[in-house]
Amino acid sequence: MNGTRAKDEAVPSSFPRQTDVVIIGGGIVGVTAAIYLAERGIPTVLCEKGRIAGEQSSRNWGWIRKTGRDLRELPLMIESARLWARLAPQLGTDIGYGVRGTTYLAENEAEFAPHEAWQEAAKPFQLDTVLLSASQTDRMLGRSDRRFAGAIHTPSDATAEPWLAVPAMARHAAKLGVTIIENCAVRLVERANGSVTGVVTEHGEISCRAAILAGGVWSRTFLENLGLNFPQLAVKSSVLRTTPAPEIVPGGLGATRASVRRRLDGGYTIARSGAAEFQLIPAAFRHFGAFLPVLRDRWRIMTIKAGRDFFGPLGAARWNADDETPFERTRVLDPKPDPRLLANVMEAARGLHPQLADARPAETWGGMIDVMPDEIPVVDTPSGWQGLLIATGLSGHGFGIGPGVGLLAAQMTAGEVPLVDPAPFALSRFSRRAAA
C-alpha cells in the first residue's frame, strides 16, 4: 500500500494501523454492522468522513414499518423489526422507540386499491396487517366525518427518533470495542490478487481483510473511483417538524398528500412520500434508462433539477490515494429544503387532520436519499473484489430496515449463513436486467 496521510497534525493519537474489518460510513447500516461484528468478537474500525448520522440517517421520518414494503425486502424487514426490539433496550437512553403502528389512509377507492393488493400479496408473511373500512378508520382517528375511504394498518410497526437512535447505537458499538473515527474519510480500498488488503484514509492506511461500504449517497462516487459501475442516484427529500399538537395516532400516519409521525417532543414530523428532487448530475445520464420506471411512476410529484450542483460533490470525480477527495471537501451533505413544497405539505396535513390546525413549522431540513433503480438495497460483493461488501441503496426507507441490512452485511463478511436469502440484494441483478 502506498497511501499517505494528508496532515500529520490531524492524525488521532490512537489511529489504528491494522484491524479485521473497516466500515466506511457512519449511518445506520454502518453502525449496526459494527455492532454485530463486535458481538462476534471481530475487530472493527468504523470511519466516518463527517459525524455519525450526519446525513440521511438522522434526517429521515423515523418510521420502522413493514407495511407497504417491497415483497423482496419484506423478509429482511421482518427480521429488522425484531432487531430493533432487542437493540433499543440495550442502548441505555431513550431513543423514542415504541411499537405504535403504521397506518396508510386512502382518501378514495383508487387510493385504497393498492393497499388491498399489497395485503393480499403479503399474506404468506403472516403479518398482523388489516384493512380498515371507512367507519373503522374514523374510529381509529377519533372522528366521524367519513373523510377517508379506508386504510391499511399494521399494529406491530414501530417508530423512533433518528437523531437520537443512531448516535446512541454508535456509543453502544464503541462500548462493545468498535473503534469509531469521525472526520476521517476513506479515500480508497486496496487489494492484491483480487482480495482486499486495506484502506487508505485521509490520515493514513489501515490494513484489513475486509471492508464494508455503507456510504449512502456517496457510494456510487466511491465505487466509480475504483472502476466499478454502480447504478445509484441521489434524490433530495424535504421534511419539517411542527410545534406540539394534539395526538392523532401514536405512530406513523401516511397519506398521498402528507404523511405525519408523532414525535417524542409532542410535535409531528411531516413530509410527502415520493415528492423528491432528482439531482441532474453526470451520473444521471449514464443511468437514466435504469431509472425511467421510477420517474414515470412519480413524474407528477418528482422534479428534475440541473444547476450549480451538476459538478458538485456527487458529480464526476477521480482521485488517487494522496489527493483530497469529495468526502473531505463536503463533510456533511446538507441540502436546502424546498420551502414551496413544505408549505404545500403543511397545508395538506392541516386539511387532513384537524388536530394540526394550530401546529406551526418549527424546523425544516433536506436530506439526500440513495436510490437504486428498483428501490431496494444492494448487499453484495462486486466481482474481483473479495472482501469488499457493498451495503447501500436503501432508497428512502432505510431507517427501519437498517439494522437488518447491518446484520446481513456483518454475517456475509463473517462468512456466516445469512439470516435471509441475500439473492434479492445482489448487484448482478442490474447487469441481468440490462442484458434482458
Question: What is the DSSP track for 351-380?
Answer: HH-GGGTT--EEEEEEEEEEE-TTSS-EEE
| 13/312: higher pLDDT | 13
Confidence of residue 215 (pLDDT cuts 50, 70, 90): very high
Task: Give pLDDT, residue 173.
Answer: 98
Confidence at residue 3, expressed as pLDDT on a 0 to 100 scale: 36
Question: What band does 299 get if pLDDT is binned at 50, 70 and 90?
Answer: very low
When pLDDT is averaged across residues 53-77 and rounded to a whole number, the result is: 97
Mean pLDDT of the 179-197 span:
98
Per-residue cell: 168 = 446512541
Q: Say how far apart CA 429 and CA 389 lie, in whole Å.
A: 16
Confidence of residue 235 (pLDDT cuts 50, 70, 90): confident
List the one residue out of 157, 151, 166 whose CA is nearest residue 60: 166
Pairing of strands 44-47, 179-181: parallel
Q: What is the mean pLDDT of residues 302-330?
A: 74
- Which is more confident, 98 or 279? 98
Query: Residue 14: its pLDDT value, please?
Result: 80
Domains of the chain, first to last: 8-101+156-435 (3.50.50.60)
For the stretch 414-426, pLDDT in tens is 999 999 999 999 9
How much of the chain, in percent, has pLDDT values that exceed 90?
82
Which comes out higher in pLDDT, residue 49 or 274? 49
Whether 201 shows a pLDDT value over 70: the answer reads yes
**pLDDT tens readout for residues 247-274:** 999 999 999 999 999 999 999 999 998 7
DSSP letter string, 73-86? THHHHHHHHHHHHH
Q: Give me the mean pLDDT over the 395-416 stretch.
A: 97
